[in-house]
Amino acid sequence: MTWHVAEEDLRAYAQGALAPPLLWSADTHLTGCARCRARLAEAADPVALDAAWERLDAELDAPRPSLLERLLVRLGVADHTARLLAATPVLRRSWLLSVLFLLAMTVLAVRLADQPALFLALAPLLPLAGVALSYGPSLDPTYEMAVVAPTHGFRLLMIRTVAVLTAGLAFNGLATLALPGYGLLALAWLLPALAITATGLALTARLGPVVGPSLVGIAWVAVLAVARAQTHPHDTLAPFTTAGQCAAATVAVLAGLLLHRTRDRFDTRPLGGFPADGVG
Amino acid sequence: MTTTPTPGPASDPTPGSFSGPAPGSVSGPATVTAVDLSLRFGGTRALDGVSLRLGRGVTGLLGPNGAGKTTLLRVLATAVPPDGGRFTALGHDPGTASGRLALRRTLGYLPQNPGFHPDFTAFDFVDYVAILKELTDRAARLREVRRVLDAVDLSDVRGRRLKRLSGGMRQRVALAAALLGEPGFLVLDEPTVGLDPEQRMRFRELIAQAGEGRTVLLSTHQTEDVAMLCHRVIVLAGGRVRFEGTPAELTARAAGRVWSATHRDPSALAGWRTGAGTFRNVGEPPEGADLVEPTLEDGYLLVLDGESAEAAA
């Protein structure tokens, strides 16, 4: 043994006050270190010690958390929230790698064609798609169990949205760094991304997780097509000008308000119905 | 409704597996009461004025495909709100936000196709559902997860990924998740479908244990499940309740309407060759027919036949 649990941590452990990830480290260490177990027995009163042993016993049964969960806990996310996020389909490694690949290809195309609009058009769609696919019956296999659970559906949606948005925006940010020649213009995807993601979520409450975001995605492409038709090939498209950015910010705020007003709908009825909907 | 018990092979509970109140009317106060529930999907009336009362113990819900069983269970589990009618469960009215939350806190639900995250282990999955059920204190949650996995006899495979478990084991994992938090109302949608006979028996034992002191609604295609487990049975067809009573009462519906013959009687509603080589006919027996003891399945067939005749008229 090259280390032992610190006295202070040992006392916190005995009182049930030690938080992950220190708690996990202590659990793992105590199972293999007789010396620290003896110190624990001395440091704790009998009642607290029984509780600690019971907790350790239960902890031993729990499988090791996934890499994503461990990372989230290290970043300060509560362990139960990390578990909820680990069940988000679009936070799986395969999805994240697909998004990275798509962004890499787009950055390459922008560099070859000298057309930043390619990236600016695609980047807002990725968070929208990620959020749309993170909650709902089509991709979440446990959706039916989640719907009848006391955890509010809107809360679960928001937890996953924040995580997916953070990941999506971080990826887009990395892609932006790969396009240094375009200055602030390369960041003009951010406000449209927030606007169409918030609008997609707001419509999800009424139209379901497929139709709502799909309509918003189509509308975004239509706006870009119209802007392209009305703009000189070397000028910046309207959505990425100052006026366009102000409009996107306004849409994001309004959609956020609408989403908040419709939050109870996420709790009262299944979004878009269950996959095998019918008489049953 | 006649109350004459007509014991038959399929209507006798297997010794040791029966649980809950003795057959009869809903014993004690009703814990779940539904009045005139209705729900449409497009042009299809999935539920058409369903009224029922459930008490403690296991109540079986029988019905053919498309009868509305899954829809009814989803409504009672608060997964889908009804278009019309109302129900209360364990004193909670899910028509209000507070009542719905209170009911969900004491509900255990095993859907017809419980979805799984394939990369989760059995422990991970139950732990995930425990978090959805607001068990956020890690130590208490882990103890509860271990308790329910022990209850369904899956402690040995708790660390195995779900995609590596058999269908029967996965169903038991889903049942463990439904049992989290000692729910007072357990809704089970065809949990024995696709299981081999041994797994089915194991599952019946678990449901019987789960039914002790709880209100359990068990949807099934298998009349054997009802005969072995349930003190009450509801037959649903065409979105309406066609029968509500004890398994013995359902069996009694077929008293004097099942006969043995050397051939399939063309006038019979159903007839099939038995292992003994004779034909078992169900329907209106001819004069002098050799009547035999009916089973729960015979009664169920006749109730469905009554429903078909009503629909045709």
Please give the average per-residue pLDDT across A69-74, as a whole number.
85
User: How far is the alpha carbon of A243 from chain B, nearest alpha carbon, in Å?
Assistant: 42
- Beta carbons of A151 and B134 less than 8 Å apart: yes
Q: How far is CA A51 from CA A20, A46, A157, B49, B144, in A?
A: 17, 9, 35, 52, 15
User: How far is the alpha carbon of B116 from chain A, nearest alpha carbon, in Å?
Assistant: 6
Q: Cα–chain-centroid distance for residue B268?
A: 28
Other Cβ atoms less than 10 A from the Cβ of B101: the count is 17
User: How far is the alpha carbon of A269 from chain B, nearest alpha carbon, in Å?
Assistant: 5
What's the CA gap between B43 and A206, in Å, rounded? Answer: 20
| Secondary structure class of B306 (helix, strand, coil) | helix
Complete DSSP assignment for B93-121: -TTSHHHHHHHHHTEEEE-SS----TTSB
- Kind of pairing between the strands at B270-273 and B185-189: unpaired
Of B68, B115, B143, the CB nearest to A142: B115
Mutation target among A148, A152, A159 for the B interface, most CBs of B within 10 A: A148
Residue of B nearest to A83 (CA): B128
Name the pLDDT band for A49 (thresholds 50, 70, 90): low
Residue of A nearest to B122 (CA): A63
Radius of gyration of chain A (CA): 24
The token pair at A39 is 């110190």
Please give the average per-residue pLDDT across A93-108, as a whole number.
77
| Secondary structure class of A72 (helix, strand, coil) | helix
Please give the average per-residue pLDDT across A253-279, as a whole number.
78
- Spell out the residues 6+ positions from residue A248 whose beta carbon is closer than 8 angstroms to its own: A191, A192, A194, A195, A239
- Beta carbons of B112 and A280 less than 8 Å apart: yes
Name the pLDDT band for A132 (thresholds 50, 70, 90): confident
What's the CA gap between A27 and A5, in Å, rounded? Answer: 10
β-bridge partners, B259: B281, B291
- Kind of pairing between the strands at B32-41 and B84-89: antiparallel
Residue with tokens 């209705």: B38
Of A63, A140, A279, the CB nearest to B239: A279
pTM of the predicted model, to two decimals? 0.78
What's the CA gap between B121 and B159, in Å, rounded? Answer: 5
Residue of B nearest to A155 (CA): B132
- Beta carbons of B115 and A63 less than 8 Å apart: no
- Beta carbons of A58 and B79 less than 8 Å apart: no
Of A55, A143, A148, the CB nearest to B104: A148
Per-residue pLDDT, A89: 67
| Secondary structure class of A117 (helix, strand, coil) | helix
- Beta carbons of A147 and B79 less than 8 Å apart: yes
Per-residue pLDDT, A156: 86
pLDDT lower than 50: segments of chain B: 1-24
What's the CA gap between B34 and B47, in Å, rounded? Answer: 12
Q: Is the pLDDT of residue A71 over 70?
A: yes
Of B68, B78, B81, the CB nearest to A280: B68
Write out chain A residues lying below 8 Å of B127, CB-based: 62, 83
Q: Quote ipTM for the complex.
A: 0.79
pLDDT tens for each residue of A142-172 = 888 888 999 988 888 888 888 888 888 888 8
Per-residue pLDDT, B102: 96
The token pair at A7 is 């006295």
Per-residue pLDDT, A32: 79
| CA pseudo-torsion sign B171, B177, B183, B186 | negative
Write out chain A residues lying below 8 Å of B78, CB-based: 147-148
Please give the average per-residue pLDDT across A74-90, as a whole number.
82
- Beta carbons of B142 and A62 less than 8 Å apart: yes
Write out chain B residues lying below 8 Å of A151, CB-based: 131-134
What's the CA gap between A97 and A88, in Å, rounded? Answer: 15
Where are the alpha helices (H) located in B9-137, listed in sequence order?
69-76, 97-105, 122-132
